[in-house]
Structure 1
Amino acid sequence: MSSGPCVSLNTGTHIPLLGLGTYKLVGAESVFQAVDAALAAGYRSFDSAAVYRNEADLGRALKELLPKYALTREDVFITSKLGPKDQGAGAMERALRSLSELDVGWIDLYLIHWPGTQGLDVTDQRNPSNRAASWAALEELHSQGKLKAIGVSNYTPTHMRELMKSSKVPPAVLQVEFHPRLAQPELRALCSEFGVFFQAYSSLGQGELLTDPVVLEVAKTCSRTPAQVLLRWAVQQNIGVLPKSSSPERIKTNAAIFDFSLSDEDMSKLSALDCGQHFCWNPSHVL
C-alpha cells in the first residue's frame, strides 16, 4: 500500500506509519494540491474528519489523482472521524454521510473524534452513554464492511478502559496529541496491553517545538530539520504520525523520515522533555 513502513492493526488491515493530516485544509484547490504533493512524495494515508469539512474535496482529489500515480483505491488508507455534535443518536447517519461525501466505496478507519458531546457540559452524565451509542453504530457499520476498522481519538485512559469493557469490537486505533512534551506513557501502555495502534497528531506541538533548544540541537547533530527529528522520534517508537501542511515542499520534506535513525542518546534527550504539556484541547475533564 505505502512506499513507507506499515503496521498491522488488530483487524489484520495494514496502516502506514506516515499519513497526511488535513486539518485546516479547506477548499477544493488546496486539498487537490496537497494530495497531489503527498502522493508524489509517497504518502498513502490521508486523515480527514467531519469537522474539517473537506471529506468531499478529499474524495474527489483522490479519484482524480490516483490514476496519475498508477494507484487504485486499494493502495490508499483513508481515515475520517465522527464529530462531537453527532455523538450518540446521530452517529450512524453522520458516518454514512462521511462515506457518501468521500465517495470512495469504504472508509479504512473511522474514529470517534472526541469523548464528549457538543452542547453538553464535560461533566454531563450523558457523555458516557452517548459514547456507547456511537460505538455501537460504528460496530454495526464495521460488521457491514463499510468501515474496515474503527477507533477513537482524544480518549483518556479512563475512556479507553470503559470502551474495552463494553465493546464487542475493540478499537483498532487511538489517535491523540503526542510529542516529546506530551509522551502519554499510561495511554501507550494501555494500547500495548489491548493491541491498539497508537497514532499521534500535533507531532510538532503546533509549531512550538520547532524552536525548542533540544530539538534544534538534535536536528543539527543529524543534519535534519526540526520537523523531521520530531516525526522520526515518534515513528522510531512505532507510533504513527499525521503531519499536516498545505506546502508541497514541506509535505515532501516531512515524508523524508525513513532514511535515517536517531541515536539512543538523542531519543533519550527528546523523551526527557516530557512535562505533560498540551498544545491542543485536553480531554481529561470529560466524564
Structure 2
Amino acid sequence: MSSFPSVVLNTGHQMPVLGLGTYKLCGPEEVFQAVDAALAAGYRAFDSAAVYRNEVDLGKALRELLPKHGLTREDVFITSKLGPKDQGEKAMEGALHSLSQLNLGYIDLYLIHWPGTQGLPVTDQRNPGNRAQSWVALEELHGQGKLRSIGVSNYTPAHMRELMQSCKVPPAVLQVEFHPQLCQPELRSLCKEYGVCFQAYSSLGKGELLTDPLINEVANDCKRTPAQVLLRWAAQQGVPVLPKSSDPDRIEKNAEIFDFTLSDTDMDRLSALDCGHNFCWDPSEVA
C-alpha cells in the first residue's frame, strides 16, 4: 500500500500529493504498462482529461489492475477534465461522457480544463458566460455524487475571483503550471484565501528544466535526479504534483521524493529562478 502523503480538500476528500499525469499516454498497452508501474511504485492518483483521449484505456487498466495490486476503486483518486469544446451548454454532456468513458462509477475530481471555449477567440466576451454555465453543470453532478470534488485548471487570478463570486460550490482544486520559473505567488495566495488546493502540472517544464545548471547543481549536491529535485521543491511547499511518464523506471524514480528534504537555502535558490515563464499555454489573455 502507498504511504505517500495526501491533502484534505474542502470537500473532505483526501487527494494524494503525488499522482501520475497521463497526457500523451496513448493506446491500451502504453496506458496499462504505465498504470501497472505506477500502482507498484505506490501511486494512488491518476490524472486524465477528455482531450487526452485515454479515459477508456485508463478506466479499463484500473479495473484490471486494482485487484492485482490488492486495491479497490476506493483506494485510488481519479481526475479528469472537461474539454474546451464542451465549455458552456455542452458541459453536462461532456462530463457525463467522461464518466461513461472511465466507467469507474464516479470521478474523484473533475476540472474545467481551460477558461476559454474551443472555436471562440480568447478575447470573446461569451467565454465568461460559458465558464459559468459549465460550473453550474459540474455543481449539479457534484450534488448527485457523480463528481466527488470539482475544480478548475489554467484559471488566472481574475478567473478565480469571478468564479468565487458566483459559485454555490467552491472549487476544490486549481491545477496550473507550476515550477521554479513560474512560482504563481498571486494564485497561491488566492487559493489559500479561498480554501482551494493549489496543484501543479508541468513541474519539469516540459523537460526543459532538467538541464538547468542550478537545478543540476542542487541535484548533484543531494544525490538526486533533477526531476526528483523539481518535484520535491513543489511537494515540500505542500503543492501536489502530477509527473507524467510512460517509462516504468522513471515512474518509479519520480515517486522517490518523500525520503529527502531540500535545505531552506536550496528552496530559496530554486524559487529565485522565477521569471513568470510558461512552457505550456498561457491563459492570461482569455476574457
1:1-287 alignment, distance < 5 Å: 2-287=2-287
- CA distance in 1 between counterparts of 2:2 and 2:59 reads 18
**Aligned-partner SS, 1:149:** strand
Amino acid at match of 1:17: V
**Aligned-partner SS, 1:150:** strand
Quick check: 1:2–1:16 contact (8 Å CA) kept in 2? Answer: no
Q: Deviation string for 1:141-172 (max 9, x for gaps)?
A: 00000000000000000000000000000000
**Aligned-partner SS, 1:7:** strand
Q: How far apart are 1:215 and its partner, in Å?
A: 0.1
Quick check: 1:2–1:75 contact (8 Å CA) kept in 2? Answer: no
Aligned length: 287
Structure 2 unmatched runs, 5+: none
- CA distance in 2 between counterparts of 1:79 and 1:3 reads 20
Q: How far apart are 1:131 and its partner, in Å?
A: 0.1
Normalised by the size of structure 1, how large is the TM-score? 0.99
Quick check: 1:19–1:43 contact (8 Å CA) kept in 2? Answer: yes
Quick check: 1:109–1:148 contact (8 Å CA) kept in 2? Answer: yes
**Aligned-partner SS, 1:259:** coil
Structure 1 unmatched runs, 5+: none
Q: Which contiguous aligned blocks of 4+ residues in structure 1 show a shift greater than 6 angstroms? A: none
- CA distance in 1 between counterparts of 2:15 and 2:72 reads 16
**Aligned-partner SS, 1:137:** helix
**Aligned-partner SS, 2:107:** coil
Normalised by the size of structure 2, how large is the TM-score? 0.99
Quick check: 1:3–1:44 contact (8 Å CA) kept in 2? Answer: no
Amino acid at match of 1:176: V
**Aligned-partner SS, 2:187:** helix
Q: How far apart are 1:255 and its partner, in Å?
A: 0.2
- CA distance in 2 between counterparts of 1:68 and 1:88 reads 40
Q: How far apart are 1:2 and its partner, in Å?
A: 4.2
**Aligned-partner SS, 1:111:** strand
Q: Deviation string for 1:163-199 (max 9, x for gaps)?
A: 0000000000000000000000000000000000000
- CA distance in 1 between counterparts of 2:120 and 2:11 reads 33
Q: Deviation string for 1:198-217 (max 9, x for gaps)?
A: 00000000011001011001
- CA distance in 2 between counterparts of 1:192 and 1:23 reads 27
- CA distance in 1 between counterparts of 2:223 and 2:123 reads 47
**Aligned-partner SS, 2:148:** coil
- CA distance in 1 between counterparts of 2:7 and 2:122 reads 34
- CA distance in 1 between counterparts of 2:37 and 2:168 reads 39
- CA distance in 2 between counterparts of 1:86 and 1:152 reads 14
- CA distance in 2 between counterparts of 1:282 and 1:261 reads 31
Amino acid at match of 1:130: N
Q: How far apart are 1:279 and its partner, in Å?
A: 0.3
Q: How far apart are 1:3 and its partner, in Å?
A: 2.4
- CA distance in 2 between counterparts of 1:209 and 1:269 reads 14
- CA distance in 2 between counterparts of 1:88 and 1:182 reads 29
- CA distance in 2 between counterparts of 1:134 and 1:59 reads 24
Identity %: 77
